[in-house]
Amino acid sequence: MSNPLKVGIAGLGTVGAGTVRVLETQAALLAARSGREIKVTAVAARERGKDRGVKLDSYAWHEDARALAGLADVDVVVELIGGADGIAKDLVEAAIANGKHVVTANKALIARHGTDLARKAEKAGVTLAFEASVAGGIPIVKALREGLAANRVSRIYGILNGTCNYILTNMRETGKSFAEVLAEAQKLGYAEADPVFDVDGIDAAHKLAILASLAFGCEVDFKSVHTEGIRDISAEDIQFADQLGYRIKLLGIARRTEHGIEQRVHPCMVPEKLPIAHIDGVFNAVVADGDFVETTLYEGRGAGAGPTASAVVADLVDIARGHRIPAFGVPSSALTKLPVSPLSQHRGAYYVRFTVLDRPGVFAEIAAALRDHSVSMESILQHSRAPGEKVPVVLTTHETEEGAMQATLQAILKSGAVTEPPTMIRIEAF
């Protein structure tokens, strides 16, 4: 058997400790599958005395993670600190410069700096691996980069954030408000104390930018991802969705269009008949459409110590085997800068919920705005209340252009027909 692959792990939080546990528990299995031992030689974290559920006494300890990049007895640096910049970026760049392979679960780092880091890794002749950065234990990076290598992918979409999926699932099952379910998710540890990255769609946007690069062979372009979260989804919207035969999911969607690459993260109305409509709780799912394989679906746990550590270790096994492949499936010099398809040119159907005063003429004003912007209404729902009271009115449209839909909503808002800004959710039938 060859010499051990020596690993330095930076960051000993949930995933870092989980990675140590997997490497220790599965040591014999991993050695058999990779042809050599995978051995942790050094770790880095700030608090040495913290109980992490694993024994760390036999490993060299460093408070400054950047020290791992210069150690002679480290072949691979595993970066599990997180964050797009700061120590995480410094460590990865230093490790590459020192000729060390890098494995990371850091989706923000790869989404914002992935193209540049891939170029540096190729120039240094080392691997940059990030299976754990997207969808936890689902091997979607390897699937796109290798399993679907014979296909031209036209579209990739999915549920990329377990926290949002958990919240939307519980809102549907309990009838509770977003705020109530978020508070419960925080108590259970499914949502962070500061949930902005999750509930505002930023986490999913990081992941979508990575998937789009892998799927389309383009530079990672996080700045071009249109991003909306789930804060404005109400219990009423969940109920209306059920009545209309839909489920509400926060989806990341990337696709090729005649105008360029479209990348967007936002709540969607998904028909109940589709498999992705039934991916509930903290689970993730990714769907890829290829020209030869057609539609493929990947489902699993998108976060947590076990699933994410499993993905980290899978990358280590590839390195131990000597399996080398460009970070995004093609040499970084071949990654193209594709034009961005403006969201205003997106075509689709829409769900809109208005809050209006129950008075004569309201529907005429709404209908006039729809007519003036060539938006065709498909259906309408209204729950009756006493005259003069506020009432929710829901309509769905036939396929139309996003720009026309936004202009229609602005016209309705300015007309005084509604008492508050309308809620719009895009309908995705796929």
Element (H, E) at 35: none
Parallel/antiparallel/unpaired status of strands 128-129 and 377-382: unpaired
Q: Which two tokens stand for residue 342?
A: 């403006």
Element (H, E) at 389: none
* Ordered DSSP codes for 78-120: EE-S--SSTHHHHHHHHHHHTT-EEEE--HHHHHHHHHHHHHH
Q: Supply angle C-alpha 170, 297, 315, rounded to 5.
A: 100
Under the phi-then-psi rule, with left for phi > 0, alpha for psi from -120 to 50, and beta for the rest, what region is 170? alpha
Element (H, E) at 284: strand 283-290
Q: Alpha-carbon dihedral of residues 11, 17, 19, 23, nearest 10 degrees?
A: 130
- Answer yes or no: are the C-beta atoms of 274 and 258 closer than 8 Å: no
Tell me which of 89, 100, 107, 207 is the catalytic residue. Answer: 207
Cα(352)–Cα(24) distance, integer angstroms = 53
Cα(64)–Cα(94) distance, integer angstroms = 13
3-class secondary-structure state, position 383: coil
Cα(102)–Cα(133) distance, integer angstroms = 13
Residue 410: partners with Cβ closer than 8 Å, 6 or more residues away: none
Nearest residue to 238 (alpha-carbon basis) of 264, 284, 270, 265: 270
Active site residue 187: no
Alpha helices in 125-161 (DSSP H): 140-142
Task: Write out the E strands in 362-412.
Answer: 377-382, 390-397, 400-401
- Answer yes or no: are the C-beta atoms of 419 and 356 closer than 8 Å: yes
Cα(116)–Cα(96) distance, integer angstroms = 12
Q: Which two tokens stand for residue 185?
A: 């998710």
Backbone angles phi, psi at 353, to 5 degrees: -110, 120
The catalytic residue positions are 207
